Amino acid sequence: MNIVKTKKGVVTQVDVQGVIKLGESAQQFSEYLDKVLSDDTGPVLVNFEGIDYLDSTGLGELIGYLQKFEDRDRKMALLRPKERILSLLKVTRLDSVFKIFYDDAAAAQYLTE
């Protein structure tokens, strides 16, 4: 898995490539989001365009960090999940929990409101 963080104004964008599943990749994803939580301020946009697979462990990490960011009054949104990931979010009804965007400008507008 490869993770890159960039700042776009006040928004921290986290670009993730690979898979997020039980084991090292879920742990790496969790540690990275924890670092963003402690080191950065403001909203976070997690770019899922490069994620090919997400299992229940990865989903659990994502849900946990959504709550952690919200507890600190910080917004979190997902950008461009592939159809397979979007289907998983719909089946688990998490598409109503996470704000999901396919347009950078719309995501930035939501996150900075």
**Residue 2 near residue 17, CB atoms below 8 Å:** yes
When the candidates are 3.40.50.1000, 3.30.750.24, 3.40.50.150, 3.40.50.11900, the CATH number that belongs to 2-112 is: 3.30.750.24
pTM (two decimals): 0.92
Model confidence pLDDT, tens digit, residues 47-100: 999 998 998 889 999 999 999 999 999 999 999 999 999 999 999 999 999 999
Q: Where are the domains of the chain?
A: 2-112
26 band by pLDDT with thresholds 50, 70 and 90: confident
